Chain A
Amino acid sequence: MFDVIVIGGGVIGGAVLRELTKYKISVCMLEKENDVCMGQSKANSGIVHAGFDAAEGSLKAKFNVAGNKMMPAYAEELGVKYVNNGSLVVAFSQEDLKTLQVLKARGETNGVTDMEIISKEELRALEPHISENALGALHAKTGGIVCPYGLTIAAIGNAMDNGAKLYTDFEVVDMQKQDGVFTLTAKDGRTEQAKLVINCAGLGSGKIAALAGDSDIVVKGRRGEYILLDRESGDFVSHTLFFTPTQKGKGILVTQTADNNILLGPTSEEVETGNTDTTADGLAFVIQKVNAMVNNPPLYNTITSFTGVRAYSTRHDFILEESKHVAGLLHCAGIESPGLTSAPAIAKYVVEELVSKHIDLQKNENFQGKRKAEYFFKQLSVEEQNALIRKDPSYGRIVCRCEQITEGEIVRAIRENPPAKNIDAVKRRTRAGMGRCQGGFCQPFVAELIAKQQGIPFEQVTKNGKGSEIVVGVSK
């Protein structure tokens, strides 16, 4: 039995799980997919929002601003690249210009610092490719970018290094509470027990609440399609460019990513399911909007497109509270944008303010928050790289040529917490296959490494879990 079970291996679940391991309690994470970070945490804009967007007094505003301040240190500890590139909300009409004033005032109320409304000329100096139709912008200098899946996986890995357990393919289908103990049952019959349950199930958090008999949580999905451009065009813009928000929402953005790609999107479409197909119309819409924002976007350098489904609550604010019906069931639900930014602040709040009401939290003196230097091969000096290669020659073999990822890094991703079990999981941890050839060259090598490390036949290696085997048989 555990003290606390966290349901859902996304950026919120990961941050909460890691925060829990700072205390002398036993914790585990239940994830319904074959790997962590399989929902909206792997397919979003990766923006560390400044905090001018959320309504005054909302939880979104509170945790956004707090999370924004925590993010640089949080990302650094976890070895995830964070860049303070600054955000620009671009105005294209007189009305937009007025909205910028509103946004700035709201930001100030929310506690956002370093905002400035800049002229057309100043905007062009910051972003030479900006459209001639742009009239000015709100420059929020505390805006940033971070790798969302890197952040999620590193937090969970670090939590596991500090004693947390992870159970994947554990889709919770039943939840019972008896004598102060929750019993959670998976689809395949496995059970886990705990005194407290934290619901971080993203799009599934309404369903999880309902299993416990709590119908207060209503969560819906909003699809967003994205286009990703090659790092070759990575300097096309340096800031995150937003359209001025309207009634319809924030609209699409044009941004550099923390890994120096260019990301375009997302569309916004209410959906019932988590279907992540891309559509011709959706991608065409993104392109149309991008062309309105910037001149001659280098779309010829497109390397992939994808869809994420963001979960939002019908309350249109974060839900961070104990269930009103089931004591000991804590909800982190409806965490849409700025959820990524808010994650470290949410985790701290949930543990220090909500969990602490049930469990006497004693500091875990052995907690090691920092990940090992080996995680940053490309960032090491040549001397450090060579020391590592002498110790383990597999760091001297490049497997993914586009992103220059070594065999050593891939093997480590397969072996270490949380272990990568398939091609996509390796990709999210190492970036092998994420570059311009999209795995065309490295996939056979990565598959061989997975087969060897796991001691399974090559034919059983999958792209993303059972049913997605990459070959269907031998040719001889």
Chain B
Amino acid sequence: MKTSLTCIECPIGCQIEVEVENGKPVSITGYSCPRGKAYAESEVICPRRVVTSTVKATDGTLVPVKTERPVKKSDIFAVMQKINKATVTLPVKIGDIVVENISEDIHLIATGNA
């Protein structure tokens, strides 16, 4: 089976064609960097996304956050539920863990200083 993908790794947005047999990619064409190839492989087996959002801080303001690595696409809304319940104690720095293991072993980290 042939699948056509738009690479989301960088602004170029390469159109990548992936030939899949028995759930495994057997041929990948159209990418222009190793990240694109890796993205295509992952996308046909188990698509993943970085989730970005905000978490409420103890003073009522919001702290921007992201998952430090891509989480399973099917897990995005479960991650959002945990994000919406979380609070973070100030001060916080970029890279600080806000929620440990929010999905699998992936942490939710702050992306802003506050």
Contact = CB atoms under 8 A, between A and B. Distances in A.
Interface in A427-476: 475-476
Contacts of A476: 54-56, 62, 84
Interface residues of A, number: 2
A475 B64 CA distance: 13
> Which applies to chain B's interface (DSSP): helix, strand, loop or mixed?
strand
Interface string A92-121: 000000000000000000000000000000
Interface residues of B, number: 5
Interface string A209-237: 00000000000000000000000000000
B20 to A, nearest CB: 38
Interface string A261-298: 00000000000000000000000000000000000000
Contacts, number: 6
A475 B53 CA distance: 10
B7 to A, nearest CB: 30
Nearest to A476: B56
Interface in B79-106: 84
A475 B60 CA distance: 12
A476 B84 CA distance: 5
Nearest to A474: B56
Interface string B47-79: 000000011100000100000000000000000
Contacts of B56: 476
A304 to B, nearest CB: 31
A476 B62 CA distance: 9
A475 B62 CA distance: 10
Contacts of A475: 54
A428 B96 CA distance: 46
A206 to B, nearest CB: 51
A476 B55 CA distance: 7
A82 to B, nearest CB: 45
Interface in B21-59: 54-56
Nearest to B54: A476
Contacts of B54: 475-476
A47 B80 CA distance: 55
B56 to A, nearest CB: 4
6 contacts: A475-B54, A476-B54, A476-B55, A476-B56, A476-B62, A476-B84
Interface of A: 475-476
Interface of B: 54-56, 62, 84
A-B complex: 6 closest residue pairs judged by Cβ atoms: A476-B56, A476-B84, A476-B54, A476-B62, A476-B55, A475-B54
